[in-house]
Structure 1
């Protein structure tokens, strides 16, 4: 009887230990090729040799609001259908990045937003001067200006949400994931005391509320596809010194909606990012999805821990052991992609 009790206790301990170990074992990171633009016929996607590499699960492709709604209430999803058919044919998955912001002089919104007065101009100019992917060798006079949709204006947001619902109706469950563009927008000017002065028609809280509203619509439109919000910086808040609760509330909203979270720049231990979103991503529940992109310039940055340029090993170690990522989206930024990523990225 005593022997039987010890045997049962030992078996129970083995089961408990096994369960604990299983809980700690996270599936391997899924790697995707990130396409920050799509040629009109998708030639750059079909001709991309890296997509056939078994280490990559698929493609994250940017589709602009302008291209998906060329005229009011007329949607053109032919590019998505075309890419989805091709990727399915080669055994790969499609991840959509829905892009309403731009980081070049050209805007990414439908033209009717600019001409109809109900949309209050539709867009607001932003600057690329402080963006980490900006080429540091370019003179300041060649600054690229981008544009942000005025999502805080209810009529603009309503039009965007119609697009989201239309995409969900056709592609929910057929694609691997979908994410918004990053939360950061570069607007406003600093006064002599370092305070940011925003345009009269912009309030940071309204922008945060608009993001939350869009997140709800995205989660509802894609119940069978992974949805993700990119959170990196927010106007009017600079953590930890100026904490308005904006970033915290957006992560809380994402968790309530069971959404994935991530960001556009994977740069290990970069001070500005560590203070803003990285800590929130690290602490985000492990049972929910987390993903980040290695975008232009990320592999050029200096790792504060090593004092050397970021390596693929640095990226993977930070992704796995600090952030706990499920997805990494790799841009083909040369020469780093061919010389480092393709040579050093391990197989599953």
Structure 2
């Protein structure tokens, strides 16, 4: 145990001495288009643009494992074929959390069999600036039995697609529990430990494909007061895991008290930083101008402060419609 702690301390000390590259030395992030759950074929003209290198597509757990131990990867295969024909690449987002009350997209056996504790826990969802807060769900990854099934899916995906996908990412770490709910077995540490365990499983399954963990907030933590944010970046650097997030919102106070400074300090120690400008991100207002953030605002902050290598742009981003 002493050797493990010593090793982690050495990594952390090395990370904290890394100085971010000077802004003028960093190229602009590469452009991918974020399609949500849409098929690549439905956006072929957009993907074929010379300034778009690939697509990020979300696949739900239920879609990929309709029945226990039976996998259906036909949607990924179809999207890969479309992207190959367009000389573009695929970044898979493996989705275990959902942002509407009706979306309970886990396999039925996880929702009904007692050992999985109900499978899903309720969470709040913030759909964007000025929009009412909604409800959604997150998979109870702190349940050991459920997490074992998730990692079996990861292993199956790795066996089929390692080296064929450009990248694969796990979704955001935020989990804002609904007041009055008491998810079975949940603790702050159990949630955090489960996330790190899944990161290791993803890295083990994919040795050729880029792997990324989205990180924005941790339940129970603010401003690294549990050292969760610090420790996840240490693990990512040590294990060669990329990091990212679902929202680039320049200088937004909440993110500046959580994940953003860690990207700023440590991006040079990571193999890849990939972050998104999704539909909710497009709703935010730049306090300096009173207008919504522009493409140039997003790119400058992503490049100069966060050290982003790839931006996943919503297909609704105004510059893509020009």
TM-score of Structure 1 vs Structure 2, range by shorter chain: 0.7 to 0.9
- Please list the CA deviations of residues 214-259 of structure 1 after superposition, one character each: whole Å capped at 9, or x if unmatched: 000100111101100000011101116xx01111111111111111
Question: Which of 241, 250, 260 is the equivalent residue of 1:259?
Answer: 241
Deviation at 1:25, TM superposition (A): 3.9
- TM superposition score normalised by structure 1: 0.81
Aligned to 1:45: 41
Structure 1 CA distance, aligned partners of 2:120 and 2:184?
14
Structure 1 CA distance, aligned partners of 2:185 and 2:206?
32
Deviation at 1:189, TM superposition (A): 2.8
Aligned to 2:209: 225
Question: Which of 89, 93, 97 is the equivalent residue of 2:93?
Answer: 97
Aligned to 2:18: none
**1:207 and 2:203 correspond:** no
Which structure 2 residue ranges, 5 or more long, are not aligned? 1-20
**1:319 and 2:315 correspond:** no
Structure 1 CA distance, aligned partners of 2:283 and 2:110?
37
Q: Which moved more, 1:29-38 or 1:146-155?
A: 29-38
Structure 2 CA distance, aligned partners of 1:305 and 1:260?
32
Aligned to 1:340: 319
Report if the CA contact (8 A) 1:173-1:225 is conserved: yes
1:330 alignment partner, SS class: strand
> Residue 45 and residue 290 in structure 1: after superposition, are their counterparts in 2 closer, same or farther (change >3 A)?
same
**1:126 and 2:123 correspond:** yes
Aligned to 1:277: 259
CA radius of gyration, larger in: 1
Aligned to 2:156: 166
Structure 2 CA distance, aligned partners of 1:45 and 1:119?
36
Structure 1 CA distance, aligned partners of 2:86 and 2:202?
28
How many residues are paired up?
300
Aligned to 1:136: 130
Structure 2 CA distance, aligned partners of 1:230 and 1:281?
11
1:107 alignment partner, SS class: coil
Aligned to 2:70: 74
1:50 alignment partner, SS class: helix
Structure 2 CA distance, aligned partners of 1:314 and 1:341?
15
Question: Which of 56, 64, 71 is the equivalent residue of 1:60?
Answer: 56
Structure 2 CA distance, aligned partners of 1:297 and 1:185?
17
Question: Which of 111, 115, 129 is the equivalent residue of 1:114?
Answer: 111
Structure 2 CA distance, aligned partners of 1:77 and 1:153?
25
Structure 2 CA distance, aligned partners of 1:144 and 1:90?
37
Report if the CA contact (8 A) 1:312-1:341 is conserved: no
Aligned to 2:31: 31
1:276 alignment partner, SS class: coil
**1:179 and 2:201 correspond:** no
Structure 2 CA distance, aligned partners of 1:110 and 1:324?
37
Structure 2 CA distance, aligned partners of 1:251 and 1:120?
30
Which structure is higher in RCO with an 8 Å CA cutoff and minimum separation 6?
2
1:74 alignment partner, SS class: coil
Structure 1 CA distance, aligned partners of 2:131 and 2:55?
30
- Please list the CA deviations of residues 168-219 of structure 1 after superposition, one character each: whole Å capped at 9, or x if unmatched: 01111111100011101110538xxxxxx85462101100000010000100
Structure 2 CA distance, aligned partners of 1:269 and 1:28?
18
Structure 2 CA distance, aligned partners of 1:165 and 1:331?
29
**1:216 and 2:200 correspond:** yes
1:220 alignment partner, SS class: helix
Which structure 1 residue ranges, 5 or more long, are not aligned? 1-20, 191-196, 344-348
Structure 1 CA distance, aligned partners of 2:41 and 2:200?
31
Structure 1 CA distance, aligned partners of 2:305 and 2:287?
15
